[in-house]
Amino acid sequence: MKYLSEYRQPAAVQRCVAGIHRLVTRSWNLMEICGGQTHTIVRFGLDAMLPSRVRMIHGPGCPVCVTPVEMLDKAIRIASRPEVIFCSFGDMLRVPGSERDLLAVKSAGGDVRVVYSPLDAVKLAARRPERQVVFFAIGFETTAPANAMAVLHAERLGLENFTCLVSHVLVPPAMQAVLGSPQNTVHGFLAAGHVCAVMGTQQYEPLVRQFHTPVVVTGFEPLDLLQGISMCLRQLEQGRSELEIQYRRVVRPEGNRLAQEQLRRVFTTVSRKWRGIGEIPASGWALSEAYARFDAEQRFDVRDVVAEESSECFAGEVLQGHRLPVECPAFGSRCTPEHPLGAPMVSGEGACAAYYRYRRQPV
């Protein structure tokens, strides 16, 4: 398959790994910022192929994982209302709130539906004008353009029964929070290619300059990641800190300007709470004042909902790279995909889910 099989060739992987071994002379810590990259690294054992001096740290790049408990509780309260059809991507249904999850609401009779696009929710609202249709709009910059488009389409159709529960988060402020932490041990970043395909790469340049930390934008296949690791390590070994693009078959420095224009039109920058991490300034998007009528938090008056994280879940430590999933006492016993304590065990991009599926013991 084009752009897939050629990036998984064992001989090419071995050559790239050998080159990394020849290159490294010091100890370095690299953080991949995307959960999709984490799954590739764990699934194919890429971290085990690297020199012992190179440590991969899994970052807070899973959108389901970082959605805060209180946002789940808001979703659950809205979805429990009899007049509401609550639409979401499938991963979110099993993410635990403070007491239950959306799947429990569905089993109790709530109209909770899995959709594959926010436009599915818009079409549903057009077909069912007697019901309130709410779409759970989560994710990083990658999913935000489609959600912005759904709001604009609902406006064009004149829909009065469509709203979004928005919990969008942004990658650069999270990276800044990691680099600014007293516990930071990260020397270089692998940035997410799909985010940069939308937003471009300019947003990372201030981080590179301020913290003197290399950032390499990579894809998601084994050779993508190994090449990105090699590029990042070469910078570190040479004393450089620059922004580079490995994923050039998809990413352009300017990004997708049409998508960016829609985002500026529909959303405004706000501070956001991140599950297990806390509030990060200017790290999220909310609907702008011009589109506040599509805001489910306002329409259903759930802005005052607050919730506490489970004291037993180590999601925050895992999301910040301070612990590996297998270092959590509950991993694989009290916390499993069937009975999760936290979102990283549920999400298809969660680090805990990756370790549970591919590696239940430390390498």
How is the chain split among helix, strand and coil, in percent rounded to 5? 45, 20, 35
- Rounded to 5 degrees, φ, ψ at 105 are -65, -45
Sheet of 111-114: strand order equals 111-114, 84-88, 132-139, 162-169, 278-287, 267-274
Contact between 105 and 345 (Cβ < 8 Å): no
Cα distances (angstroms) measured from residue 338 to each of 43, 92, 93, 240, 342? 20, 14, 12, 45, 11
Question: Can you tell me the distance from the alpha carbon of 143 to that of 161, in angstroms, rounded to the nearest whole number?
Answer: 22
What is the CB-side half-sphere exposure of residue 196 using CA atoms within 13 A?
Answer: 28
**Amino acid present at 182:** P
Res 276: pLDDT: 77
Question: Which pLDDT tens digit goes with each residue over 92-126?
Answer: 999 989 889 999 999 999 999 999 999 999 999 99
Q: Per-residue pLDDT averaged across 133-143, rounded?
A: 96
- What is the spatial distance between Cα 272 and Cα 280, in angstroms, rounded to a whole number? 6
- How would residue 220 be classed by pLDDT, with cut points 50, 70 and 90? very high
Hey, what's the torsion of the CAs at 155, 161, 165, 169, to 10 degrees? -10
What's the average model confidence in pLDDT over 193-221?
97
Domain architecture of the chain: domains with CATH? 24-358 (3.40.50.11740)
Share above pLDDT 90 across residues of the chain, in percent, rounded to a whole number? 80
The answer to whether 154 touches 186, Cβ cutoff 8 Å, is no
Weakest-pLDDT range from 113-122, 194-203, 273-282 = 273-282
- Edge-to-edge strand order for the sheet containing 243-245? 54-58, 28-32, 188-192, 215-218, 243-245
Q: Is the pTM of this model over 0.85?
A: yes
